[in-house]
Amino acid sequence: MSFLWGVMGGPSAGPQPSGAETIQKLCDRVASSTLLDDRRDAVRALKSLSKKYRLEVGTQAMEHLIHVLQTDRSDSEIIGYALDTLYNVISNDLEEEEQEENLTKVDDLGSQFTEIFIKQHENVTLLLTLVEEFDFHVRWPGVKLLTSLLKQQGPQVQQIILVSPMGVSRLMDLLADSREVIRNDGVLLLQQLTKSNAAIQKIVAFENAFERLLDIVTEEGNSDGGIVVEDCLLLLQNLLKNNNSNQNFFKEGSYIQRMKPWFEVGDDNCGWSAQKVTNLHLMLQLVRVLVSPTNPPGATSSCQKAVFHCGLLQQLCTILMATGVPADILTETINTVSEVIRGCQMNQDYFASVNAPSNPPRPAIVVLLMSMVNERQPFVLRCAVLYCFQCFLYKNQKGQGEIVSTLLPSTIDATGNSVSAGQLLCGGLFSTDSLSNWCAAVALAHALQENATLKEQLLRVQLATSIGNPPVSLLQQCTNILSQGDKIDRRGSKVQTRVGLLMLLCTWLSNCSIAVTHFLHNPANIPFLTGQIAENLGEEEQLVQGLCALLLGISIYYNDNSLENYRKEKLKQLIEKRIGRENFIEKLGFISKHELYSRAAQKPQPGFSSPEHMMFDHEFTKLVKELEGVISKAIYKSSEEDKKEEEVKKTLEQHDNIVTQYKKVIREQDQELEELKQRITTLMSQNEQLQATVTQQVSQIQQHKDQYNLLKVQLGKDTQHHNSHGDTFQMNGIQTEEVSKLKEELEEWKNKHELLQGQIREKDFLIEKLKSSQLEIGTTELSSQSSRSGGLDHSNELQKELEMLRSQLQLQSAEISQLLIENQKLQVMNTTADPVLGDSGAIVTKSSELEGQLEQQIKELKSEVKALSEEKESLKQHLDSSSSTVAILQDEKIKLQQEVAESKKEQDDLLVLLADQDQKLSALKIKLKDLGVPVEDEDDIESGDQGDEDEDVEEEEQD
C-alpha cells in the first residue's frame, strides 16, 4: 500500500515512485484485486490522477475501467468513479491553469481516446444502459461522458446510437428527470446528438421533445429565464432548421401558438440583461426558421398563416414599434417580420395597416423608411428595413400600387403635413448619401417588379428640381444624376449611387416599351451609355460599364421602333461602330462575373459586411440572368432576321387569334349542348313523374275493380235468393243472366284495354329512351354511322309495333262503345221493368251506378292517353329540331377543324421553306469558304457590292 500512501499524501519511506509507475500499480490493483473495496479505492485514486496524468491514465487504465463498468454494475460508487475518470481522460474541458500547462499535450488527446473507446460499439451501448440508471452518481457522469464523446467524434457516435435499440428514446427520458442538473445536461447532450442528423432529429421530435422543451422554457420564465432557456432554444433550432418534417409536425401540433408569450414585452423596456437579449434573439431566429424563404413554399405559407392567426405577428409588430428595445433585438425583429409577411397577402395587408404610436399616427412602413434613408442609423438596421420593404412588396401588387400612388400628382398631399413613402424614397434617391441613394433605388425598383402598369404610371411623376425651373420627370432626373456622375459631392462610394440608379432604370425599362421610348426620347442618354461602355476604365468602373451595357441592350430588345432615329437596327449599327459587338458582350459579362453578384444571388436577405459591399440586389440578379442571353442574341441578329422574326410573330399572333376564335365557337357550342342536355334531363324527369302518376292511377283503378267484383258477387247472391223465392222473370224478353254475362264481357274488354295501354306506355318509354341516347351520342361529336343506322332500324320497328297497337286499340274502343250502348239499353229496360221486381230493381240500380262510375273513369283514362300522345308528339318534334341543330353544329365544327388544319399546314410549310433557305445559304457559304472567297455579313456584303460597282464604272471609263 506504499504507493497509495504516496498518492494520498501520506508519509513514505524511501524514494517516491513516478506518476506512470503509480498508475501502473493502480491498474494492476484494479485488475487483480478480488475485494470490491480495494478495486474501488484504486479507481478513486485513478480519478484523482486523471487530470494531471491524462495521457498515462488514458493509455494504461481505459481497458480496466471499461471492464469495471461491465463487471461491477452492482456498486454505483465504483461505476461513478470509473465514469468520472473516463470523462477526465476524454474531455478537453480542462481548467485554465491546467490547460496552459498541458497545451502542447492535449491538442488531440480527446479525439484519440474517444476513437479508442468507440472502436468497440458495445462500449457506447453499455454507456447508454448506464445512463438509464436513476442513481445520481451513475447517471450524471454517464451523461457528461456521452456528451464529451459526441463533441469529439459526433457522426460516428450518432450512428452507433441510431442503430442501438431504443438508443435515442433512452436519452429522451433525461428531459423528464426531476433533478435539474441532469435535465440541463440532458439538453446539452441532445444538442450534440441532433447536430446535422435528420434521422435523429425526427426521432427526437416524435418522442415529444417539443412539448417537453416548451414546458422547460415556460417554467424557466420564457425570455427572462437563464442559460437553460438558451440551451432549449438552441436544441429547438437543431430540430427545426432545414427539417421540413419536423417543421410540419411543429405547426400541426399547435406549438406556434405557444411561442406568443415569449414576445410579451412590457412598457418599461430599459435595463435588458445580456441573457434576456440572447434569449429573445434566439426566439426570433426560431420564428425565422419556420418561415424561411429557403423552406418549401407550401410549408412557409402555412406557417405564415399560423403566425398571423395566433396573434404572433401582432406581437412582433408591437415590439417593432416599442421604445427602448435594444438595437440588435430591433434589427432581428424587423428581419423576422419581413420573412413572416414575405409573399403572404394576408400578412402584408395587416402590416400595411400597422401604425406607429406617434401623434399624429404614421404608418409603420413610413417610419421604417425614415430610418432607412437616415444616414445616422446603424448600417445593419438600414439593411433590415430595406429587406422588410422588399418582403412587403414581394408578390404584392396591391402594396406596389399604394407605394407608387403616393408619387402620382393626384394623390400628393398639398398641405405637406404628412410625409408619404414615395416622398421618402425620392428624398433618399436624390440625397448626398450614396447608401441612401442605393437603398431608395432598390426599394423603388421592387415597387415596379413584374408590374408593367405601374412602370407606365411612374412615367407621369414630375419633380420640381429648383425654384423657377420647369418640373422634370422622375426618369429624366435619374438619367441626369447618372450622367453627372463624379460632379456631385457624395458621402460614401460614388460607384454605389450609379449602380443603384442603373439597377432602377434596368428594372423600369425591362418589359415596358413605353418606358424605353421615353428613355430614348432624351437625345443625351444613348451617347452617354455608349461613351461609358467604350471607355477603358478601372476595375471599380467595370461594374458600371456592365450595367450600362445591360441598359443599352434592354433599350434594343424592348424597342418598338416608334422613334425613327433610335430604331433597333440603328442602335445595333451604333454599337458596331463605336463599341464593337465582342467588346459589348464582354462588358455585359462583367456583371455576372463579379464576386458581389454571386453573393447577392444566394439568398433574398441583403447580407453585407460593410456599406462598400452593397452593390447588387437579389431580385436584380434574377433579371440579369434572364436578360443576358436574349440581349446577346439580339445584338447579333441582322435586320432581315429581325424582320423575319417579326413576321413570324405576326403570323403566330394571327394563328393564335384564329385558334382563339375557334375555341370561342367551340365553347359556345359546348354551352348550347349543355343546355340541350339539361333540357333533355328535365323532360326525362317530367316523363318519369307522369309515368309515376299513371302508375298511381292504375293502382286506383285496380282498387275500384276489386270493389266492383265484390259488389258483383253480392249481386249474384241476391239474385239467387230471389230466384229461390219466386219464378224466373223476364224483362222485355231478356233475362238478368244475360245482363251479367254482358257485364263480364265488358270487364274483360276493359282489362284488355288496360293491358294494351300499358304496352303502349312501355313502347313509348323505349322510344323516348332511344331518342335521348341518340341525342347524347350526337352531342358528343356524333358517333359512327353503323351504330346510328342500327338505332334507327330499331326505332322503325318500334314505330310499326306502335301503329299495330294503335289499330288494335281503335278496334277495341269501337267494341267497347258498342257494349256501352247495349249496356245503356239494358239500364233503360231495367228502369222500365215491372215494380214486381222489388229488391232486384234496387240491386240493378246500384249496379248501374257502379257502371256509370266505371264509364266515367274510362273516359278520364282516354283523355289522359290522348294528352300523353299529344305530349309525345311535341317531344318528338323537339327531338327532331334538336337533331337538326346538332347536325348543323357538327358540320360547322368539321369546317373549322379543316381550316385549322390548313392553317397549321401552311405554317409548317413556311417553317420548312425557311429551314431549307437557311441550309442552302449555309451550304453556299461553306462552298465559298472552301473556294477561298471571303464571306462577310449581309451589311458588309451590301456595302461591298456598292464599292464593286464604283470600281467597274471607273474601269469602263479608263477603257
Which cell is 942 given? 451590301
Which range of 25-29, 227-231, 675-679, 793-797 scores highest in mean pLDDT? It is 227-231
Which range of 165-179, 377-391, 562-576, 758-772 scores highest in mean pLDDT? It is 377-391
Q: What is the pLDDT of residue 741?
A: 65
SS3 472: strand
Contact call for residues 556 and 635 (beta carbons, < 8 A): yes
Residue 147 pLDDT greater than 90, yes or no = yes
Strand ranges in 436-510 using DSSP code E only, listed in sequence order: 462-463, 472-473
Q: Are strands 472-473 and 462-463 parallel, antiparallel or unpaired?
A: antiparallel
Q: What is the pLDDT of residue 809?
A: 67
Give the Cα separation of 481 and 494 in Å (integer).
Answer: 11
SS3 405: helix
Q: What are phi and psi of 457, to 5 degrees?
A: -65, -35
Residue 320 pLDDT greater than 70, yes or no = yes
pLDDT digits (tens, 9 = 90+) for 55-91: 888 889 899 999 999 998 888 999 999 999 999 999 8
Residue 580 pLDDT greater than 50, yes or no = yes
Q: What is the pLDDT of residue 914?
A: 77
Q: What is the pLDDT of residue 10?
A: 45
Residue 524 pLDDT greater than 80, yes or no = yes
pTM, full prediction: 0.65
Q: What is the pLDDT of residue 542?
A: 87
Give the Cα separation of 218 and 210 in Å (integer).
Answer: 12
Q: What is the pLDDT of residue 820?
A: 67
Give the Cα separation of 909 and 892 in Å (integer).
Answer: 26
More confident residue, 743 or 3: 743
Q: In which residue are the cell numbers 425526427 written?
A: 202
Q: Lowest-confidence range among 16-25, 211-220, 527-536, 764-773?
A: 764-773
pLDDT digits (tens, 9 = 90+) for 280-289: 999 999 999 9
The residue-averaged pLDDT of 552-562 equals 90
Q: What is the pLDDT of residue 863?
A: 74
Q: What is the pLDDT of residue 470?
A: 82
Contact call for residues 848 and 741 (beta carbons, < 8 A): no
Q: What is the pLDDT of residue 159?
A: 93
Q: What is the pLDDT of residue 12?
A: 45
User: What percent of the chain is helix, strand and coil (3-state, nearest 5)?
Assistant: 80, 0, 20
Residue 846 pLDDT greater than 90, yes or no = no
Residue 297 pLDDT greater than 80, yes or no = yes
Residue 501 pLDDT greater than 90, yes or no = yes
Q: Lowest-confidence range among 340-354, 427-441, 609-623, 704-718?
A: 704-718
Residue 598 pLDDT greater than 50, yes or no = yes
Q: What are phi and psi of 246, to 5 degrees?
A: -70, -35
Contacts of 263 (CB under 8 A, 6+ apart): 223, 280, 283, 312, 315, 316, 318, 319
pLDDT digits (tens, 9 = 90+) for 442-479: 999 999 999 999 999 999 998 877 666 788 899 999 99
Is there a cis peptide before residue 835, judged by omega within 30 degrees of 0?
no
Q: What is the pLDDT of residue 932?
A: 75
pLDDT level of residue 739 (50, 70, 90 thresholds): low
Nearest Cα neighbor of 447 from 408, 401, 385, 503 is 401
Q: What are phi and psi of 398, to 5 degrees?
A: -65, -45
Q: Are strands 355-356 and 362-363 parallel, antiparallel or unpaired?
A: antiparallel
Q: Is residue 500 exposed (0-12), middle (13-18) or buried (19+ Cβ within 10 Å)?
A: buried
Contact call for residues 23 and 57 (beta carbons, < 8 A): yes
Q: What is the pLDDT of residue 788?
A: 41
> Which amino acid type is present at position 850?
L
